[in-house]
């Protein structure tokens, strides 16, 4: 192993998707691979998800979808986030499904279809209560009618009707039932005007696991694809048949004995309470280790596993390194440090890190930067 690596178990991604496919059937699975596949690496993760049965791949940006195609990834690919002047012609040439939340987006896509002679596969997105993208319900009939006009000209096929949930990670939240009802109404309105969607889709990971009635024809799990729990207060990954695909590992760069009362790292946030052994880990916030993982007087740092013992980050996380107080552990330079991985292997988890940093496991895994090598294991798929 180099000084540090992000290890990604592709069989875990494959098996997680297979598990989600069983839960979702007869709905199909769109594995969401935006954000460099939540930090796991776009193309290898996409292929592993397809090996597990994902009929669709979902990305946020068109650039991500085009990168999949450039790598030779087939199957259905949908990109949902666009800005004015997007590379629509490239998207259509690459056979990428596209989305519109407003009439001007339909107009841009229709113009690209006219120029290129390729019919766009279009998904119409309703804002059923998320308050992010999606058409306001008041404007939905206009969006549907504009899309139908473009369809009549042979410029688009309206293949999808879709929306996104705001509170699916809180099962039983009143917004879930409201959004479900609003989505049914929006889909019914579009269908009453003549849209015959191939897929209606609403569910993210949390809804895939906890809201059967939100599955419709296609579910869009992201986090669960990578073996993390979208409802950590309710279920650990293993409870729902998932296993984490990512672990972050490093080697101790230096081990040294210091006296009691020794300040550690910037600002001396942490001071040794006795003579102790410090271990230096060559990873920092430029690699994706959150500075909020620091430990000191205000609270313990994030956990790491070294030599079978779980220790905590001592002092501030720096740009390229952090320190762990190893007490009297028998450690030496070169020993393996596991930041997080699989609880089943006794390793701290991305969720433990999220709890220590006041964030969600999504952000912990998605932050790990290209500076660190991604090492793929169990990839002979
Ligand atoms: C990110 C995203 C998803 C996946 O969400 P998870 O909570 O990771 O399952 C699904 N749909 C849309 C529109 C998204 O932006």
C-alpha 199 – ligand 1 centre gap (Å): 16
**Residue 42 has what pLDDT?**
97
16 C-beta closer than 6 A to ligand 1: no
How does pLDDT run across 250-297, given as a tens digit for each residue?
A: 999 999 999 999 999 999 999 999 999 999 999 999 999 999 999 998
How does pLDDT run across 135-179, given as a tens digit for each residue?
A: 999 999 999 999 999 999 999 999 999 999 999 999 999 999 999
Q: Is 132 annotated as a binding residue?
A: yes
Q: What global pTM score does this model have?
A: 0.97
28 C-beta closer than 6 A to ligand 1: no
Q: Give the residue among 378, 353, 371 at the shortest CA–CA distance from 5.
A: 371
Q: Evaluate whether 287 touches 4 at the Cβ level (below 8 Å).
A: yes
57 C-beta closer than 6 A to ligand 1: no
C-beta atoms surrounding 201 within 10 Å: 27
Q: Atom 6 of ligand 1 has which residue's CA nearest to it?
A: 222
Among residues 34, 125, 226, 285, the one annotated as catalytic is 34
Among residues 149, 266, 285, 376, the one annotated as catalytic is 266
Q: Is 266 annotated as catalytic?
A: yes
C-alpha 373 – ligand 1 centre gap (Å): 25
Q: Is 78 annotated as a binding residue?
A: no
Q: Helices 103-116 and 140-152 meet at what angle, rounded to 10?
A: 10
List, in order of start, the domains of the chain with CATH numbers.
10-227 (3.20.20.10), 246-377 (2.40.37.10)
Q: Evaluate whether 229 touches 236 at the Cβ level (below 8 Å).
A: yes
- Residue 2's SS3 state is coil
Is the confidence at residue 131, as pLDDT, over 90? yes
Burial 96-132 (b: 16+ CB within 10 A, else e): bbbbbbbbebbebbbebbeeeebebbbbbbbbbbbee
Q: Is 362 annotated as catalytic?
A: no
205 C-beta closer than 6 A to ligand 1: yes
How does pLDDT run across 324-337, given as a tens digit for each residue?
A: 999 999 999 999 99
Q: Give the residue among 209, 206, 216, 119 at the shortest CA–CA distance from 161.
A: 216
């Amino acid at each position: 192993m180099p000084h540090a690596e992000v290890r990604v178990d592709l069989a875990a991604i494959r098996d997680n998707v297979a598990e989600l496919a069983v839960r979702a059937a007869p709905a199909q699975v769109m594995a969401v691979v935006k954000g460099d596949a939540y930090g796991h690496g776009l193309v290898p993760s996409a292929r592993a998800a397809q090996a597990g049965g994902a009929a669709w791949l979902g990305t946020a940006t068109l650039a991500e979808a085009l990168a999949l195609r450039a790598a030779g990834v087939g199957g259905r690919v949908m990109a949902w986030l666009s800005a004015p002047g997007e590379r629509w012609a490239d998207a259509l040439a690459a056979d990428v499904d596209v989305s519109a939340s407003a009439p001007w987006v339909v107009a841009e896509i229709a113009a690209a279809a006219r120029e290129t002679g390729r019919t766009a596969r279009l998904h119409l997105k309703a804002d059923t209560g998320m308050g992010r993208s999606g058409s306001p319900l008041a404007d939905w009939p206009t969006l549907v009618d504009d899309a139908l006009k473009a369809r009549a000209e042979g410029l688009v096929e309206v293949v999808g009707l879709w929306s996104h949930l705001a509170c699916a990670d809180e099962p039983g939240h009143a917004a879930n039932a409201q959004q479900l009802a609003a989505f049914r109404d929006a889909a019914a309105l579009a269908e009453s005007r003549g849209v015959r969607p191939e897929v209606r889709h609403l569910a993210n990971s949390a809804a895939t696991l906890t809201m059967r009635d939100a599955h419709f024809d296609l579910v869009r799990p992201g986090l669960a694809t990578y073996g993390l729990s979208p409802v950590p207060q309710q279920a650990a990954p293993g409870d729902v048949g998932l296993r984490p695909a990512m672990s972050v590992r490093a080697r101790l760069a230096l081990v040294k004995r210091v006296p009691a009362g020794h300040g550690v790292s910037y600002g001396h946030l942490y001071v040794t309470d006795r003579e102790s052994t410090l271990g230096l880990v060559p990873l920092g916030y430029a690699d994706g280790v959150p500075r909020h993982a620091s430990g000191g007087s205000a609270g313990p740092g994030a956990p790491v596993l070294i030599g079978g013992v779980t220790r905590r980050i001592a002092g501030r996380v720096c740009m390229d390194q952090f320190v762990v107080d190893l007490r009297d552990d028998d450690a030496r330079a070169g020993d393996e440090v596991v930041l997080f991985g699989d609880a089943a292997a006794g390793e701290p988890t991305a969720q433990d890190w999220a709890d220590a940093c006041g964030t969600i496991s999504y952000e912990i895994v998605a932050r790990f930067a290209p500076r660190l090598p991604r090492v793929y294991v169990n990839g002979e798929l």
